[in-house]
């Protein structure tokens, strides 16, 4: 049985005889250019996949066959005749893009470079796994963003901050001598969806990783990843010059400090010539940063950028900052600190912004910074690991959340100024673009703990490559690749996945509630918590429930956080009539008997939403019950058990929150809601 280790690359045998015969007819020969590393990997992957899918040893041939063959070659190595036939498409293959196209009776996979060939091959295999037709195929793909990275919050002792799938897959103590085979499979999986970078270490960083012993280990990993087109990045602890450099300060304007970083960075590049650069969390949640020395984010980021620039390295500087000093509304701080710095960062600095202004909540309105820094490349930071979303126990298909954010309209250049256009850099003509996902990967056999967590890794990669792919398509692809092409499986399970995000929002934080999880671990409800030293850590700070009502007023009568959005967006959020109901209590404090659009009171509406969440999980359980014939025993059992827990905990969430809020509202539960027992 498949334990899930092989992810969406499990290359199950195609059983459908018609599809099988179409494919074997088309692939009678493979004319592939030879090369090193990356092209060997292409060959390896084709061999593995065609053996699995078609049960054949791939017929590699030494010369160009006349027909019914696969031609896998760089554009410069195609025959003149084929080049002429593809003449219109070839110039459109830019960056690491590729073309898969029928040419006469052959199919050509081509690109300008080896990585493009690898990406094209993975796409072609995905096509076969979905049993799509090979007749007159024409697929032209170019990545829409430049930097497509996973952020591992992995510590050097192999614990993973907010990791729920086992220990870190980086076995630091055995590196560089021991290369775990898993490193290669990790790289394959990432390359198969176009991820081209990985930040190995936690943003709450240890300076140790910048010492020679660790640089050597990092170099060994970089060697494994390189042929897959994956660059390695590290987190840089701002105070490293003190901790490992023996200096007395880490002031970014101090010449000795600047020199220290310059030398450190050269040292890294000596070992890793294609090192990607740094990801930095500074002056946030107690991490050191330039503000410790009265300097700004610009001073800090540019210092590192200057040292990295000669090596073509970049700095990803995080905007996730909030402090105990301004506690009226934590949501406002990043914007207040960063927006005035627009245009002052070096060209190789990207500011990495979480999707929302608080912190990876089940649902958040998009971050207002996305509309406010036209002269600075802004990277999206999504969280793939489910810190506030039921860890690796609850099923939540996150591409739905990502899609909602990417498709949100910032109005920065009028209607249609989608967040996706900020992220891919097209809106303001950014020179560099990127998207990051906080990984959900660990050393569990199936990588992600929850078998469906794999869909979130997969989906993140697909959206990083192309932020416009509909979540529905991602769900469809992933299910077919991972489990089955049977419509009796794909249709209902896809529906289940696509509603899973709405379900979790309903049973955790409906109508715009947020940050009411229990303290520290963020698992399970804790809306009553009110005893933490910093006010903005307490759930009561966010829901502000009392006998009169509930919600956080962020309009001009309250914190006025809405003023950080463009006028058009602020107008929508400010007006309780036009504010989307899913963000109602995010932006408004309303009386318990406030009338919702459906005519019900806010109190009743809240209870109905919590109940709806529970019902949706129940429905998911029923759907899954019928899926036994389509997946293996182990997968069926695992997911059944997890859904049982999820249902129990959805009920827990509903009961805990509604019973607590009832101590304020003093109202009876709506009749639609099951009474907590």
Residues with a catalytic annotation lie at: 285, 359, 387
Residue with Cβ nearer ligand GCW (204 or 211): 204
Distances (CA, A) of 32 to 43, 60, 70, 94, 113: 8, 7, 8, 21, 14
- Host H or E run for residue 353: strand 349-354
Name which of 207, 276, 274, 259 is nearest 236 in CA terms: 207
- Interface with ligand GCW, residue 364, by CB under 6 A: no
Residue with Cβ nearer ligand GCW (44 or 324): 324
Do 546 and 590 contact (CB within 8 A), yes or no? Answer: no
Contacts of 343 (CB under 8 A, 6+ apart): 375, 376
Do 424 and 147 contact (CB within 8 A), yes or no? Answer: no
At 291, list the tokens.
Answer: 């503000």
Name which of 208, 191, 209, 189 is nearest 199 in CA terms: 209
CB of 162 to ligand GCW, least distance (A): 5
Q: Which of 261, 360, 465, 552 binds ligand GCW (CB under 6 A)?
A: 360
CB of 436 to ligand GCW, least distance (A): 11
CB of 337 to ligand GCW, least distance (A): 15
Q: Give the other-Cβ count within 10 Å of 630's Cβ.
A: 18
**How far from each other are the two terminal CA atoms of the chain, in whole angstroms?**
41
Do 433 and 406 contact (CB within 8 A), yes or no? Answer: no
- Host H or E run for residue 328: none
Pairing assessment for the beta strands 138-141 and 98-103 based on DSSP bridges: antiparallel
d(CA 111, CA 122): 13
Tell me, residue by residue from 109 to 148, as one string, x for binding to ligand GCW by CB under 6 A and - for no binding: ----------------------------------------
Tell me, residue by residue from 371 to 410, as one string, x for binding to ligand GCW by CB under 6 A and - for no binding: ----------------x-----------------------
At 269, list the tokens.
Answer: 């590049």
Tell me, residue by residue from 530 to 569, as one string, x for binding to ligand GCW by CB under 6 A and - for no binding: ----------------------------------------
Q: Give the other-Cβ count within 10 Å of 461's Cβ.
A: 24
CB of 197 to ligand GCW, least distance (A): 18
Do 108 and 82 contact (CB within 8 A), yes or no? Answer: yes
CB of 151 to ligand GCW, least distance (A): 9
d(CA 351, CA 377): 6
Residue nearest to ligand GCW (CB): 359
d(CA 409, CA 407): 6
Residue with Cβ nearer ligand GCW (115 or 149): 149
Enumerate the β-bridge partners of residue 278.
Answer: 234, 315
Distances (CA, A) of 176 to 223, 224, 229, 637: 10, 11, 20, 38
Residue with Cβ nearer ligand GCW (144 or 237): 237
Q: Which of 115, 195, 203, 209 binds ligand GCW (CB under 6 A)?
A: 203
Size of residue set near ligand GCW by CB under 6 A: 10
Q: Which of 11, 98, 153, 447 binds ligand GCW (CB under 6 A)?
A: 153
Residue with Cβ nearer ligand GCW (292 or 634): 292
d(CA 371, CA 136): 42
Contacts of 513 (CB under 8 A, 6+ apart): 542, 543, 550, 585, 586
Q: Which of 45, 359, 364, 424 binds ligand GCW (CB under 6 A)?
A: 359
Residue with Cβ nearer ligand GCW (238 or 661): 238
CB of 209 to ligand GCW, least distance (A): 15
Residue with Cβ nearer ligand GCW (204 or 323): 204
CB of 522 to ligand GCW, least distance (A): 7
Neighbour-count burial of 323, counting CB atoms closer than 10 A to its CB (0-12 exposed, 13-18 middle, 19+ buried)? middle
Tell me, residue by residue from 70 to 109, as one string, x for binding to ligand GCW by CB under 6 A and - for no binding: ----------------------------------------
Residue with Cβ nearer ligand GCW (194 or 289): 289
At 485, list the tokens.
Answer: 């092409």
CB of 356 to ligand GCW, least distance (A): 11
CB of 263 to ligand GCW, least distance (A): 28
- Interface with ligand GCW, residue 204, by CB under 6 A: yes
CB of 203 to ligand GCW, least distance (A): 5
* Positions 274 through 303 that interact with ligand GCW (CB under 6 A): 281
CB of 287 to ligand GCW, least distance (A): 8
Do 209 and 201 contact (CB within 8 A), yes or no? Answer: yes
Distances (CA, A) of 35 to 39, 41, 181, 485, 514: 5, 10, 23, 35, 53
Residue with Cβ nearer ligand GCW (224 or 357): 357
Do 327 and 534 contact (CB within 8 A), yes or no? Answer: yes
Residue with Cβ nearer ligand GCW (229 or 290): 290
Residue with Cβ nearer ligand GCW (89 or 161): 161
d(CA 461, CA 454): 11
Cα angle 164, 169, 175; round to 5: 150
- Interface with ligand GCW, residue 164, by CB under 6 A: no
- Interface with ligand GCW, residue 477, by CB under 6 A: no
Q: Which of 161, 306, 342, 428 binds ligand GCW (CB under 6 A)?
A: 161
Name which of 7, 182, 185 is nearest 635 in CA terms: 7
- Interface with ligand GCW, residue 320, by CB under 6 A: yes
Binding footprint of ligand GCW on the chain (CB under 6 A): 153, 161-162, 203-204, 281, 320, 359-360, 387
């Amino acid at each position: 049985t498949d334990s899930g280790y092989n992810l969406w690359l499990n290359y199950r045998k195609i059983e459908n005889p018609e599809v099988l015969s179409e494919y074997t007819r088309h692939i009678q020969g493979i004319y592939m250019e030879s090369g090193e590393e990356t092209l060997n990997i292409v060959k390896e992957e084709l061999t593995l996949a065609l053996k699995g899918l078609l049960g054949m040893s791939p017929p590699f041939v030494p010369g160009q066959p006349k027909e019914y063959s696969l031609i896998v070659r760089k554009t410069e190595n195609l025959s003149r005749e084929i080049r002429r036939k593809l003449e219109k498409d070839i110039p459109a293959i830019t960056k690491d893009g590729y073309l898969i196209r029928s040419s006469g009776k052959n199919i050509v996979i081509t690109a300008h470079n080896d990585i493009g060939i690898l990406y094209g091959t993975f796409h072609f295999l995905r096509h076969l796994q979905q049993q799509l037709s090979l007749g007159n195929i024409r697929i032209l793909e170019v990545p829409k963003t430049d930097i497509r990275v996973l952020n591992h919050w992995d510590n050097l002792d192999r614990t993973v901050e907010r990791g729920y799938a086992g220990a870190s897959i980086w076995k630091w103590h055995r590196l560089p001598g021991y290369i775990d085979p898993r490193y290669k499979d990790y790289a394959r999986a990432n390359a198969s969806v176009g991820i081209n970078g990985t930040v190995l270490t936690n943003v709450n960083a240890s300076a140790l990783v910048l010492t020679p012993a660790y640089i050597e280990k990092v170099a060994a990993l970089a060697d494994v990843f390189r042929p897959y087109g994956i660059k390695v990045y590290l987190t840089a602890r701002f105070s490293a010059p003190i901790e490992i450099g023996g200096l007395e300060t880490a002031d970014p304007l101090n010449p000795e400090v600047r020199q220290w970083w310059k030398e450190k960075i050269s040292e890294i590049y000596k070992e890793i010539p294609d090192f990607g650069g740094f990801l930095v969390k500074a002056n946030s949640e107690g991490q050191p940063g330039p503000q410790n020395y009265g300097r700004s984010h610009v001073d800090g980021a540019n210092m590192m950028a200057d040292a990295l620039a000669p090596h073509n390295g970049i700095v990803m500087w995080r905007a996730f900052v909030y402090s105990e000093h301004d506690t009226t509304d934590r949501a406002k701080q990043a914007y207040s600190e960063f927006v005035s710095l627009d245009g002052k960062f070096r060209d190789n600095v990207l500011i990495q912004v979480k999707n929302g202004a608080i912190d990876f909540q089940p649902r958040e309105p998009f971050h207002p910074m996305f509309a406010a820094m036209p002269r600075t490349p802004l990277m999206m930071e999504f969280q793939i690991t489910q810190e506030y979303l039921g860890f690796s126990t609850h099923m939540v298909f996150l591409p739905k959340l990502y899609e909602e954010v990417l498709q949100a309209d910032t109005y920065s250049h009028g209607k249609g100024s989608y967040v996706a256009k900020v992220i891919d850099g097209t809106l303001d003509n950014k020179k560099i673009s990127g998207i990051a996902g906080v990984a959900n990967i660990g050393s569990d056999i199936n990588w992600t703990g929850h078998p469906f967590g794999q869909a979130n890794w997969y989906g993140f990669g697909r959206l990083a490559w192309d932020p416009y792919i509909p979540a529905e398509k991602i769900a469809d692809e992933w299910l077919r690749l991972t489990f089955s092409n049977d419509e009796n499986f794909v249709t209902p399970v896809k529906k289940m996945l696509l509603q899973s995000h709405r379900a979790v929002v309903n049973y955790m934080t409906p109508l715009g509630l947020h940050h009411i999880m229990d303290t520290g671990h963020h698992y399970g409800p804790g809306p009553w918590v009110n005893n933490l030293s910093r006010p903005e850590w307490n759930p009561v700070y966010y829901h502000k429930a009392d006998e009169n009502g509930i919600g956080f007023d962020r309009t001009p009568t309250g914190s006025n956080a809405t003023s950080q959005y463009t006028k058009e967006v602020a107008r929508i959020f400010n007006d309780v009539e036009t504010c989307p109901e899913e963000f109602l209590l995010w932006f408004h404090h309303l009386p318990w008997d406030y009338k919702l659009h459906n005519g019900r009171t806010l109190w009743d509406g809240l209870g109905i939403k919590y109940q709806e969440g529970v019902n949706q999980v129940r429905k998911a359980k029923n759907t899954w019950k019928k899926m036994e014939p389509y997946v293996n025993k182990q997968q069926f059992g695992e997911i059944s058990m997890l859904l049982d827990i999820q249902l129990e905990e959805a009920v827990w969430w509903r009961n805990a929150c509604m019973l607590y809020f009832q101590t304020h509202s003093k109202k009876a539960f709506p009749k639609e809601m099951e009474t907590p027992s």
